[in-house]
Amino acid sequence: MKRIFLLNGHPDGSSERFCASLCDAYAAGARRSGHEVRRLDLGAMDFPLIKTAEQSNKGDVAPDALRVQDALVWADHIVLVFPLWLDDQPAYLRALFEQVFRYGFVHENFDNAKKRLKGKTVHTVMTMGVSRWEYRFKSRAYGIKMLETGLWKYAGMKPARRTLIGAIHSIDEAARKAWLKKLQDDGAAAR
């Protein structure tokens, strides 16, 4: 059995958001199979923006960011669900990552750069208004590539799976149910 950290990266904390439903489905499948799940929702968090290098290097880490750090260390597998906004993550999600992935957290010390999160796997789930084809070929999947290489791999984690859900505003109820079933199955398999 795996320990899974599930982060709903939608800044709107409303339970009606499709990202929240996807998280619910994943967690239900994982728990049904006996996996342990910790879930945090960005929309319920409160933390300040980092505005200077000194705040980033020596400032206090916000309590919600500390909870994310704790969950990342605890987990074997991380699942992030978020919407694409302006070809990237929502700004508030990026601000959370700036709080969480500070140098002192990602590395044990500057000299040997031993990574605390090495070997953990990550499944990134992104919803978007454009089609998956348009995102992959016109935008060249910029936002997800930057997340996978600039954050996950940098921190020692392995991007293991990517789920892109396109044209979210125009899919019908059957397609929504199919996506929820897929996420539930992914949760059951801890992938």
The pLDDT assigned to 135 comes to 75
The pLDDT assigned to 115 comes to 72
- Sorted by where each starts, the structural domains of the chain and their CATH numbers stand as 3-188 (3.40.50.360)
Q: Mean of the pLDDT values across residues 116-139?
A: 85
Contact 148, 104 (CB under 8 A): no
**What whole-number percentage of the chain has pLDDT above 70?**
95
Q: Name the region of 156 (left: φ>0; alpha: ψ -120 to 50; beta: rest).
A: left
For 56-82, the pLDDT digits (tens) are: 888 788 999 999 999 999 999 999 999
In the 3-class helix/strand/coil scheme, how is the chain assigned residue by residue? CCEEEEEECCCCCCCCCHHHHHHHHHHHHHHHCCCEEEEEEHHHCCCCCCCCHHHHHHCCCCHHHHHHHHHHHHCCEEEEEEECECCECCHHHHHHHHHHCCHHHHECCCCCCCECCCCCEEEEEEECCCCHHHHHHHCCCHHHHHHHHHHHHCCCCEEEEEEEECCCCCCCHHHHHHHHHHHHHHHHCCC
Q: Mean of the pLDDT values across residues 4-20?
A: 95
**What whole-number percentage of the chain has pLDDT above 90?**
63
Mean pLDDT of the chain: 90
Any idea which residue has 């348009």 for tokens? 134
The pLDDT assigned to 139 comes to 67
Whether pLDDT at 34 is above 90? yes
Q: Mean of the pLDDT values across residues 16-23?
A: 96
Q: For residues 92 and 114, give the distance between their C-alpha atoms in angstroms, rounded to a whole number.
A: 28
Q: Among 2, 158, 156, 148, which residue's Cα sits nearest to residue 75?
A: 2
